[in-house]
Amino acid sequence: MKRAFPIFAVLTAVLLSYALYEALVAAPTEQTMGNVQRIFYYHVPSAWTAFLLFFINFVCSVQYLVCRDKVADTIATWVVVVLGIATCVAAFVIRPLPAGIEPSSVATTGLAIIGLYFLIKKYFSGGSTDALAVVTAEVGVVFCTVVLVTGPLWARPVWGIWWTWDVRLTSTLVLWLIYVSYLMLRRFSTSGQTPVLAAALAIFGALDVPLVYFSIWIFRTQHPQPVIGGGGSIDPRMLHVLLINWLAFLCFAVLICRSRYRLEILQREVEEVQALEALHEPRSTR
Amino acid sequence: MNKEATSDVTSGLTSQRMSQSSRAIAGVSRATLAKDLRLEWRSKDAINSMLFFALLVVVVFSFSFDPNAEQSRQIAGGLVWVAFLFAAVVALNQTWARELRNQVLDAYRVSPAPANSLFLAKALGNFIFVAVLEMLMTPLFIMFYKLRPLGPAWQLVPIAALGTWAIVVNGTFFAAMSLRTRSREIMLPLLLFPVSIPALLAMVNATTVILTGELSAKFWIVLLSTYDVVFTIACLLLFGLVLHAE
């Protein structure tokens, strides 16, 4: 098991370099945008990875809050199951769906909600749920920063502007702001119950993002339609490169999360031992 | 005794308990609110600092932009709400800090009073403070920015009420949260502003739309109401946890 980490690290490095080659050399050049379009292979996978990590953070936060109360736990489990199934059903019942959203992707999201919830519930509990929440928030902010930096770099030559208050841009920015404030709260908190406060804030953030999305959705959106499961069309070779890049980024994210998680757990153990020692030690300073 | 009678008795007991607890919530809320208002009436700490702060913001904005009537219609919505938001933060920071002296907050924690009643009282108190501030500041705004709304002006009243509640309900919650942090005065805006972005957007756009009289503000009012309902429920559900997190 100890070997698994370095082996996985090497595999990730190989995959990342292969993805880099594919993105910069092997992928066909876009007709109108030219080489600038290649930034897309970093922008989109980072965005997907960041959203996934924030979603895991939200699930962890909910579980951390409900795991102390039997009734709340049961209610939360039922809510998750009902919500997941309702999303799946709604995907095929509600017509018409907003432009750029396919029923299959909505249904997959519904299943992912249930799957992630039960996976995390099975393998994490109490303090380790909270450690996972810290880790995913931190790594998620890093990936989200990559998205927010590469976006304007691409937009300047293609749209002629660095930034616009479009649906996806604004909701990503707000998400980033919320998670930066989440990390700030964790850093500045002097309470012994920081996890509770942070989890509550994460839930507020998760409630906020849909509201931001719908409030800006009313305006015309400028961002290109999503290429996967959306109305846009993409060259199959480009799609292939995009998916390889996503896989590489996902492996990379898992790798950092894994080592950061170990660090977090070790840190907590050290703190615990120090606290115990301080209790046991006779007052030698006098 | 048959089953129906038992269930009758239990349901009677539950409803009695429900009415008791709702009465307890109302009682504690009323007592806390009255106490806060009386304290504020005697000291006038919050309202004075808020008023002066908002006045400064108005004056500074006014001479840094110096707009004509048409321009000020476009920007006044944003300026008004930014001024009120900043001023509200001043009051919100004092909400819980007041209870730290003499360990009043610890007394609340050990008392059997429901946490939500305390939260409701504090949020209502802040709502009243900010509403008073708004009433006093609005004439000044109209004077400095030569405002004359072209749309239906009465709609500004529900917008102001909903917007103030949106700021205050989350602000009270996050103020309680930032109580347990280093440099808590800075922490409150850091937590409050990102979450308030949709509400701010709705308030500012609704106000601007009414001032310029171009479009209907209906969508923004609906959005603001949704925001208020969602976050009031979230605050009430989570406040107990935050209050008891030492």
CB contact under 8 A, A65 and B241: yes
pLDDT at B166: 94
The torsion angles phi and psi of B150, rounded to 5 degrees, stand at: -95, -15
Question: From CA A171, how far away is CA B197, in angstroms rounded?
Answer: 10
Cα-trace Rg, chain B = 21
In chain A, which among 176-195 make CB contacts under 8 A with chain B?
177-178, 180-181, 184-185, 188-194
How many Cβ atoms are within 10 Å of B159's Cβ, its own excluded? 22
- A99 has a pLDDT exceeding 80: no
Q: Which of A30, A28, A44, A36 is nearest to A157 (CA)?
A: A36
Mutate to test the interface with B, among A169, A204, A213, A219 (most CBs of B within 10 A): A204
pLDDT classification of B68: cutoffs 50, 70, 90: confident
Of A237, A222, A247, A229, the C-alpha closest to A30 is A237
Query: What CA–CA distance (Å, rounded) separates A257 from A261?
Result: 6
Amino acid at residue number A236: P
For residue range A181-190, what is the model confidence (pLDDT) as tens digits?
999 999 888 8
Task: Please report the sign of the dihedral spanned by the C-alpha atoms of residue A85, residue A88, residue A92, residue A94.
Answer: positive
Closest among B110, B118, B117, B113 to B244, alpha carbons compared: B110
ipTM score here? 0.82
Of A188, A193, A207, the CB nearest to B234: A207
Taking contacts as CB-CB distances below 8 angstroms, the residues of chain A near B195 are 178, 204-205, 208
pLDDT band of A279, cuts 50, 70, 90 = confident
| Closest residue to B201, CB basis, from A197, A204, A215 | A215
Q: How far apart are CA A262 and CA B59, in angstroms?
A: 53
Burial readout B173-209 (b: 16 or more C-beta within 10 A, e: otherwise): bbbbbbbbbeebeebbbbbbbbbbbbbbbbbbbbbbb
pLDDT value at position A223? 58
* Whole-number pLDDT of residue A126: 77
Q: How many other CB atoms are there within 10 angstroms of residue A266's CB atom?
A: 10
Q: B175: which 2 tokens?
A: 């103020």
CB within 8 Å of B13: residues ≥ 6 apart: none
Question: From the CA of B195, how many Å to the nearest CA of chain A?
Answer: 6
Alpha-carbon distance of B69 to B147, in angstroms, equals: 7
Give the nearest partner residue to B180 out of A177, A189, A207, using CB atoms: A189
d(CA B166, CA B220): 13
pLDDT tens, residue by residue, A209-223: 888 877 777 655 555
Q: Please, what is the average pLDDT of chain A?
A: 84
Q: Do A193 and B180 touch (CB under 8 A)?
A: yes
Average pLDDT over residues B93-117: 85
Give B59's pLDDT tier (boundaries 50, 70, 90).
confident
Q: pLDDT (tens digit, 9 = 90+) per residue, B119-170? A: 999 999 999 999 999 999 888 888 888 777 787 888 889 999 999 999 999 9
pLDDT at A111 > cutoff 50:
yes
Contact between chains at B230 and A211 (C-beta distance less than 8 A): yes
Q: Name the pLDDT band for B26 (thresholds 50, 70, 90).
A: confident
The answer, yes or no, to whether residue A231 has pLDDT greater than 60, is no
Chain-chain contact of A188 with B181 (C-beta, under 8 angstroms): yes
Angstrom CA distances, B158 to A185, A202, B222, stand at 33, 30, 11
**Which structure tokens are listed for A95?**
């017509």
Instruction: Please list every residue in chain A whose beta carbon sits closer than 8 Å to the beta carbon of residue B230.
Output: 207, 211
CA distance A65 to B103: 26
Structure confidence by residue, pLDDT tens digits, B229-241: 999 999 998 998 8
Which of B181, B205, B227 is the best mutation test for A, with the most CBs of A within 10 A?
B181
Return the percentage of chain B with pLDDT > 90, whole number: 26
Tell me the average pLDDT of chain B.
84
Q: Is A214 on the interface with B (CB under 8 A)?
A: yes
**Which residues face A223 on adjacent strands?**
none
B145, B62 Cβ separation under 8 angstroms: yes
Tell me the nearest-neighbour CA distance from A52 into chain B, angstroms: 20
A261 CB contacts (<8 Å, ≥6 apart)?
A131, A132, A135
pLDDT for the residue numbered A201: 92
Cα(A45)–Cα(A143) distance, integer angstroms = 9
- Nearest-Cα distance to chain B for A112, in Å, is 24
Examine the pLDDT at A122 and tell me if it is beyond 70.
Answer: yes
Q: Can you give the pLDDT at residue B243?
A: 87
- Number of cross-chain residue pairs from A and B with Cβ atoms under 8 Å apart: 85
State the smallest CA–CA distance between residue A83 and chain B in angstroms.
17
Rounded Cα–Cα distance for residues B216 and B209 (Å): 7
Q: Model confidence over A18-77: pLDDT tens digits?
A: 988 888 888 877 777 778 888 888 888 999 899 999 999 999 999 998 888 888 888 888
**Above 60 in pLDDT, residue B13?**
no
Which residues in A lie closer than 8 A to residue B241 (C-beta atoms)?
65, 196, 200
What is the rounded CA–CA span in Å between residue B33 and residue B125? 6
Yes or no: say if B163 and B203 are a contact pair by the CB < 8 Å rule: yes
A268: pLDDT strictly greater than 50: yes
Q: Is the pLDDT of residue A140 over 90?
A: yes
Supply the pLDDT for residue B17: 65
Question: What is the per-residue DSSP string for chain B?
Answer: --HHHHHHHHHHHHHHHHHHHHHHHHHHHHHHHHHHHHHHHHH-HHHHHHHHHHHHHHHHHHHHH---HHHHHHHHHHHHHHHHHHHHHHHHHHHHHHHHGGGHHHHHHHSSS-HHHHHHHHHHHHHHHHHHHHHHHHHHHHHHHT---SS-GGGHHHHHHHHHHHHHHHHHHHHHHGGGBSSHHHHHHHHHHHHHHHHHHHHHHHHHHHHHTSS--HHHHHHHHHHHHHHHHHHHHHHHHHHH--
Count of all residues that appear for chain B in the document: 246
Closest residue, chain A, to B225 (C-alpha): A211
Which among B141, B33, B40, B133 has a CA at the least distance from the CA of B88?
B133
Which pLDDT belongs to residue A228? 47
Instruction: Report chain A residues whose CB lies below 8 A from the CB of B182.
Output: 188-190
CA distance B130 to B93: 13
What residues in B contact A208, CB-CB < 8 Å? 194-195, 197-198
Nearest CA in chain A to B187: A185
Kindly report the pTM of this predicted structure: 0.85
Give chain B positions within 8 Å (CB) of A200: 177, 238, 241-242
pLDDT greater than 80 at residue B21: no
Whether the per-residue pLDDT at B108 is higher than 80: the answer is: yes
**Percent over 70 (pLDDT), chain B:** 92
Which residues of B are less than 8 Å from A218 in CB distance?
Answer: 219
Q: pLDDT (tens digit, 9 = 90+) per residue, B200-226?
A: 988 988 888 888 887 778 888 988 999
pLDDT at A230 over 60: no
Q: In this predicted model, what pLDDT tens digit does every residue of A240-262 receive, in sequence order?
A: 888 889 899 999 999 999 999 99
Contact A190 B191 (CB under 8 A): no
